Amino acid sequence: MKQLSKRSSRISSQCVQSIMFFSLSMIGIQCASPQTPPRGFPKVHQDPSATISQVGDSTHLQCDVSAEPQATVYWIKDQFELIDTSLPRFRIVGSGSLVIETLLETDSGAYECMARNEIGTVLSNSGHLHVRHNLTIAYHFLQQRGIQFPPTINEMPDKVEVSSGKGTNLTCRAGGFPIPMVWWSTLGTPAGPRVSGPIMLSERALTEPQPHEATLRLTDITESSGYNCIAKNGLGLVRRNVSVIVKQLPAPPSSLDARPIGSTYAVLRWPPSISSGVDSYTVSLQIDDGGLGELSRRQITNIDPSEMKSENSFNILDTKYSQENPMIVYNLTGLSPFTLYSAQVHAVSRVAGLSLPSDLVKFRTAELAPGTPPQVLQAIVDSPNSVVVTWKPPVESNGRITGYKLYYTTRPEDSLNSWLIARTTQEKYQLTKLIPNATYYVKVNAFNAAGDGPVSEQLPIVVTPGVPTAPTNLRGISLKPTNIHLTWTPPDDMSNDRKLLGYRLRFRPATTTSTVVDQISDIKSPLSSTSNEEEIIKQKQKSFITETRDIDATATQYLLTDLEPSTRYYLSLAGKSIHGYGVAAQIEVQTNDYPFDLPSPKNVQLRTLTNVSAKICWDQPNLPELMYSIISYEILFGLSNESISPLNATGIIPLPQSICCCFTMMHLRPGTDYRIWLRLVSHKTLPTTIVNNYDGNNGFMNKNVAPWSSIDSKNKITGPVSELQAFRTLISGA
């Protein structure tokens, strides 16, 4: 730093120059005389130094100023340009230093700081800022020209605040050439007792020296502390102190109280926090011994501290708090019945973060009647007139199971109130004095102090010793429109005296009208009918017959084929032993729809009949048998002198389903050229009225196909059109 006399003389000469180049009178400069400055005259303790930075980075130009009264600091670039610090890229920090954000290459130049108060003005020495796109190239440029400058530390915060237990990263960047080495250290502490002279301080390095930049990573911070960033090259050493402040956490809530209200609801209460600045509360709730890991934990955030109520707002007696004492109240809902919970509360400050948790409180919700029936209901016939029924507890017991009710009957169609009932506290029961070889139906439910739970599905039992129990987990899925894939688990009670010999599968379609089977099976029509009607009747007679399949004893799956598409089937599977067939497991499965990939009509031919009519014929398509009852045809036509196509046909004739494979078009124009196309149409669902009644005098009262006028256009699927056909009607009188 220059001596004050030199600085003062430089100020005087520059003040004269400034009048020639730019007006500093706007800031009221009063140049100092070469003599000793008066008391309170601004003083520069540290001048800007040479700095090198990269485009896009930020830089920190040092200027340490003192004055009494306080001085206003201005910055001048290249002696003549006053820096506008109102722009967002420029700001003055500390006692006068300049920070430039998002550096541009045009920011390069010589910078001076100028301090002014009512007593006078002082100008610092200049420091050169080099801004380059690539620091490596810039350093090479400086090295070639032998330019060196001492280290400077870029702008960084003097203070960093963190929440207790959290961490932070402190990064320090420095400029200078040669490239400075940068590291972090602890603040200096006295190295020994002071005898005389300056105090010797001892520092401990926290990071290894790195070129240009160093990062200090701090974790689990519980105490405030200070750290030094040190930058050093051959021209000097600089340091910058950063304080890491642990934010003062709010005090944890106290006197937390939990009160279960019913089986799914509880109330938490606690006094407001004694700490100021509490913005909200967070409740942490966990199921004790839930065995679900994170799934058993629940957190409720942003509980408003304004939710305060006086004690007399509760219909619950409590002598711990006075009626005037306000409380924070939170209602916990959606809880599980008869479950032990642990709850804690944290106070939350937006500035300081989360407080330590309150003391843990535990509570248990009340019981509720079981929510599910007992599981895995099974039966073993142990004598000609007794059966042992076993089961497992319900999944949702909702309390302590105090017993089970076993319902059994030979008349499953009767209401449950008329079934026989046996009670037990065990998970099995022996039914005795049963009718040999009779089929009994059994249901079980559980009960606790809050009431009865739902009953299980009924289990059929044949009271014949040695026959298998029903296969379990019988499932079916339609993989294709004509098959069902079945899987099951074999009976698990088979022993040597009742070895499983195989299975019998029985299946039939579900009927849409309860009288159809009986009526069709006895039909002997005295009247003639079309071949199409007779064929459909035969199909329906066949479809109502229960069919069987015998399956090997080792099988646990079976593919049932040759079924009708879009049809619901009843299926039952029973095991067989030397004593006979056991109880069957039963399910219903719907086969898939056909994909409805309709072909285009083939061999379409046209013949003009009269001047107003023409006949169109085509070949019957090759389709699965069942699809003939769900398809029909459409004729699309228009005049040849129009720009006609299937997409804009002026006429569409929907044909009745019974028509195949010729149709006569009527009411045409004489001597007119026509274009015509034909296409198949699918109606996606089978007609439901096949044969509802038979009258000996009038024959079938309902036809075996749905009338064409009942087609639902929303469910219509159209196939591709046939090849274009053209024809001309006859001229009138020809």
pLDDT, position 492: 73
The two three-digit tokens of residue 69, written as one number? 């009264």
pLDDT, position 48: 87
pLDDT at 408 over 80: yes
208 versus 497: which is more confidently predicted?
208
C-alpha neighbours within 13 Å on the C-beta side of residue 164: 13
Distance CA(376)–CA(385), nearest Å, equals: 23
Task: Give tens-digit pLDDT for 412-456.
Answer: 999 999 999 999 999 999 999 999 989 999 999 999 999 999 999
pLDDT, position 246: 87
Q: What is the mean pLDDT of residues 621-638?
A: 75
Say which residues have a Cβ less than 8 Å from residue 554's Cβ, sequence separation at least 6: none
Distance CA(85)–CA(81), nearest Å, equals: 12
Per CATH, 257-364 and 605-728 having the same topology is answered yes
Q: Which CATH number describes the domain made up of 382-456?
A: 2.60.40.10
pLDDT at 692 over 50: no
The two three-digit tokens of residue 459, written as one number? 């289990």
pLDDT, position 714: 54
Query: How large a percentage of the chain has pLDDT more than 70?
Result: 76
Task: Give tens-digit pLDDT for 360-387.
Answer: 999 999 999 999 999 988 888 888 899 9
pLDDT at 260 over 70: yes
Say which residues have a Cβ less than 8 Å from residue 143's Cβ, sequence separation at least 6: 177
Of 184-198, 320-334, 440-454, 501-515, which one has max mean pLDDT? 440-454
Residue 8, φ and ψ in degrees, nearest 5: -65, -40
pLDDT, position 14: 43
Q: What is the mean pLDDT of residues 20-49?
A: 63
Residue tagged 């974790």 (tokens): 219
Could you state, in order of their start, the residue ranges of all structural domains in the chain? 4-147, 153-189+202-246, 257-364, 382-456, 472-590, 605-728
pLDDT, position 728: 86
User: Which of 155, 131, 132, 128 minimizes the C-alpha distance to 48?
Assistant: 128
C-alpha neighbours within 13 Å on the C-beta side of residue 117: 16
The two three-digit tokens of residue 98, written as one number? 């300049």
Task: With beta carbons less than 8 A apart as the criterion, state whether 237 and 153 touch.
Answer: no
* pTM for this entry: 0.48
48 versus 688: which is more confidently predicted?
48
How is the beta sheet containing 213-218 ordered, strand by strand?
149-153, 168-177, 213-218
pLDDT, position 488: 94
The two three-digit tokens of residue 660, written as one number? 């195949």
User: Which of 139, 114, 106, 121 minimizes the C-alpha distance to 48?
Assistant: 114
Residue 713, φ and ψ in degrees, nearest 5: -65, -25
Task: With beta carbons less than 8 A apart as the criterion, state whether 116 and 142 touch.
Answer: no
The two three-digit tokens of residue 274, written as one number? 């004694």
Least confident of 57-66, 167-176, 479-488, 617-626: 617-626
Cis peptide before 617 (omega within 30 of 0): no
Q: Which CATH number describes the domain made up of 4-147?
A: 2.60.40.10
Q: What is the mean pLDDT of residues 72-76?
A: 93
Of 42-51, 431-440, 677-686, which one has max mean pLDDT? 431-440
Q: What is the mean pLDDT of residues 690-700?
A: 31
* Mean per-residue pLDDT of the chain: 79
pLDDT at 405 over 80: yes
- 29-32, long-range: CB within 8 Å, 24+ apart, which pairs? 29/114, 29/116, 29/121, 30/116, 30/119, 30/120, 30/121, 31/120, 31/121, 32/8, 32/120, 32/121, 32/122
Task: Give tens-digit pLDDT for 381-393.
Answer: 888 899 999 999 9
Per-residue confidence band for 292, with pLDDT thresholds at 50, 70 and 90: low
Residue type, 689: T
The continuous run of DSSP H or E covering 35 comes out as none
Residue type, 90: F
The two three-digit tokens of residue 563, written as one number? 């079924």
Say which residues have a Cβ less than 8 Å from residue 125's Cβ, sequence separation at least 6: 1, 2, 7, 47, 48, 112
The continuous run of DSSP H or E covering 175 comes out as strand 168-177
Task: With beta carbons less than 8 A apart as the criterion, state whether 66 and 40 touch.
Answer: no
pLDDT, position 628: 61
pLDDT, position 198: 53
Residue tagged 């059109």 (tokens): 721
Per-residue confidence band for 659, with pLDDT thresholds at 50, 70 and 90: confident
H helical segments located in 196-336? none
Residue 197, φ and ψ in degrees, nearest 5: 80, -170
Per-residue confidence band for 522, with pLDDT thresholds at 50, 70 and 90: very low
User: Which of 19, 192, 57, 43 minimizes the C-alpha distance to 120?
Assistant: 43
State the CATH architecture for 605-728.
Sandwich (2.60)
- Burial label for 545, CB within 10 Å (0-12, 13-18, 19+), is exposed
29 versus 62: which is more confidently predicted?
62
pLDDT, position 596: 61
Residue tagged 């089929």 (tokens): 439
Fold adopted by 153-189+202-246: Immunoglobulin-like (2.60.40)
Task: With beta carbons less than 8 A apart as the criterion, state whether 105 and 132 touch.
Answer: yes
pLDDT, position 319: 33
Query: How large a percentage of the chain has pLDDT more than 90?
Result: 32
pLDDT at 607 over 60: yes
Is the Cα torsion angle 506, 511, 517, 523 positive or negative in sign?
Answer: negative
Rounded to a whole number of angstroms, the CA Rg of the chain reads 48
Residue type, 340: L
The two three-digit tokens of residue 483, written as one number? 């098959």
Three-state secondary-structure class, residue 715: helix
Per-residue confidence band for 706, with pLDDT thresholds at 50, 70 and 90: very low
The two three-digit tokens of residue 527, written as one number? 């009247």
Q: What is the mean pLDDT of residues 382-406?
A: 93
Task: With beta carbons less than 8 A apart as the criterion, state whether 124 and 48 touch.
Answer: yes
The two three-digit tokens of residue 436, written as one number? 């040999």
pLDDT, position 616: 92
pLDDT, position 734: 52
Q: What is the mean pLDDT of residues 516-532?
A: 36
Q: What is the mean pLDDT of residues 277-301?
A: 77
Q: Which CATH number describes the domain made up of 257-364?
A: 2.60.40.10
Q: 25: left (phi > 0), else alpha (psi -120 to 50), else beta?
A: alpha
Fold adopted by 472-590: Immunoglobulin-like (2.60.40)
